[in-house]
Amino acid sequence: MLMYMSSSSQESPSTPLHSVSVAGAVVREDGRVLVIQRADNGAWQPPGGVLELGESVEDGVRREVFEETGVWVRPECLTGVYKNMSRGVVALVFRCTVENGEARPTEEAVAVDWFTSEEVRQNVSEVFAVRILDALDPSRGGEPRIRSHDGHRLIA
C-alpha cells in the first residue's frame, strides 16, 4: 500500500512516501562478494536494510552489514540507485571493503557466503543480482547505475 502526505488540510493525496534502504556490495581482495541468505524468505541478497531516521547513509550501510553478517565495512563508493516502483522503496548500494570481523550467520541471515560473480548470477534473483554485478562492473567508470524494477524484474 502506498501512503501519501498532504501539504494542505484537503483530503487529496500529494506526495508519495518512499522508504530508503542501503546495502553493501562487500568485495574481498579475491573479487568474491559477501551475500546473505535471509531468514524471513530464504533468498540470497547483499546485506542491507532500511535507513534509520537521523542516521547517515554511510553509517546505515556499516550498521546493516554488521547486523546481518558480523563484518564491519568501509563504504567506498555509491555504485547504484534502485527503485522498486510497486513499493516505493529506493535502495542505495555501496561497494565496500572489509575493515574487520568474520562473516557469520545472524538472526537476520541463516547463512552467509562469499560468491563469485557467476554464483551471484546463478543464485540471486535478478533485482538483487544486478546490484552486486553493477558494483563489480568496471565499465560503469565509477558512475552509479540508476535502475527501476517491479520487485521481480528490471524495468527497461
Q: How far apart, in whole angstroms, are the C-alpha atoms of residue 71 and residue 33? A: 13
* Phi–psi pair at 64, nearest 5 degrees: -60, -45
Asked: is 17-155 a CATH 3.40.50.300 domain? The reply is: no
Q: How far apart, in whole angstroms, are the C-alpha atoms of residue 102 and residue 114? A: 11
Given the DSSP bridges, would you call strands 72-84 and 109-115 parallel, antiparallel or unpaired? Answer: unpaired
Q: What are the boundaries of each domain within the chain?
A: 17-155
Question: Digits of tens for pLDDT over the chain (156 positions)?
Answer: 334 343 444 444 666 788 999 999 999 999 999 999 999 999 999 999 999 999 999 999 999 999 999 999 999 999 999 999 999 999 999 999 999 999 999 999 999 999 999 999 999 999 999 999 999 998 988 899 999 999 999 998
pTM for this prediction: 0.88
Compute CA 120 distance to the chain's CA centroid, rounded to the nearest angstrom.
Answer: 14
46 and 25 Cβ atoms separated by less than 8 Å? yes
